[in-house]
Amino acid sequence: MLLVRAAKAADLEGVHALALAAGPGMTTLKADRAALAARLALAEASFRQALSPAECDYVFVLEDTVQGRLAGIAAIKSAVGLDEPFYNYRIGALVHSAPSVGVYHRHEVLYMTHDLTGCAELCSLFLHPAYRSGSNGRLLSKSRFMFIAQFPHLFTQTVFAEMRGFQQPDGSSPFWEAIGRKFFQMDFQRADDLCQPGGKSYIAELMPRYPIYTSFLSEAARAVIGVTHADTLPARRLLEQEGLCASSYIDIFDGGPVLHAQLRDLRAVRDSVALRLGDAPPGASLSLICNTDMAGFRVMAAPVADQHALQCTTDCTIRVLGMV
């Protein structure tokens, strides 16, 4: 059986194995044992409600209870940018007009912003290739929304997710080549490797602060602004099913899109229902079912009648949402 649960420090070996399987390219899931151990300790403290919102990092693992191994990981950072700056480019417009000579030009412009400061970030989603079948990916990704629906007071009204941007087969990024490399003599993969906590903000501090006219960029760079990496498209579709949509923000490194939503518009917040386990209607349809214990949070995808893995008694409250 597969279930999603709150991560704990004892998951280090399994999480490290997942980070190794993920390989390069996931900024928030580097295969650094010390960093992963610190993050899991932070996650445990977050679930115990022992930290301020600026520090909370809710990490979830997908556990194969039969094989005794971890099959995936996902996380929610409750509020970004409160301890170090969080950067994005916002796509905007500037109009240059001279009516007397009949000239009017509307230019697309990139503005570096901190607009998402304080918002909750969905991140670190990775499902081991051996488990990419059935409803496993949906369970892992959507479990986070069940947590938000159960504990909305932990988050501000906006949630977002940065999508991995387009890369060439060799791992290079046309967007990075057009902007980032001009200010740092390093390739995209090297810059990405530096993105440990604090690293990305350090690089962003050295990026140009003035608006960037996209017409000055190469055609290849312009073509990938806001384009999602092919490998990330399935994850994007899952987020869109839950209510997230494209925004005017992109990643400062690879130009990947940022999806966002208001909490009230998330499907789980809007449509999930809380009920006593003993009152749960029988049925064979697949649902997302979670308990209401923060420290022992668990989510599974099953008919409501098959909820025994949540470790609830018949008078416990559960939350249920139909699976799509």
- Residues serving a catalytic function are 229
| 109 contacts 137 by C-beta, under 8 angstroms | no
For the chain, strand residue ranges (E) read 2-6, 57-64, 69-77, 88-98, 103-113, 120-127, 158-162, 212-213, 245-250, 257-262, 273-276, 287-290, 298-302, 317-322
| 245 contacts 237 by C-beta, under 8 angstroms | no
Q: Give the span between the Cα atoms of 256 and 252, in whole angstroms.
A: 8
Which tokens hold the place of 210?
A: 């003035």
Nearest partner of 317 among 296, 299, 290, judged by Cα: 290
- What own/partner pairs with CB < 8 Å and gap ≥ 24 does 305-311 have? 305/280, 307/277, 307/280, 309/1, 309/3, 309/65, 310/3
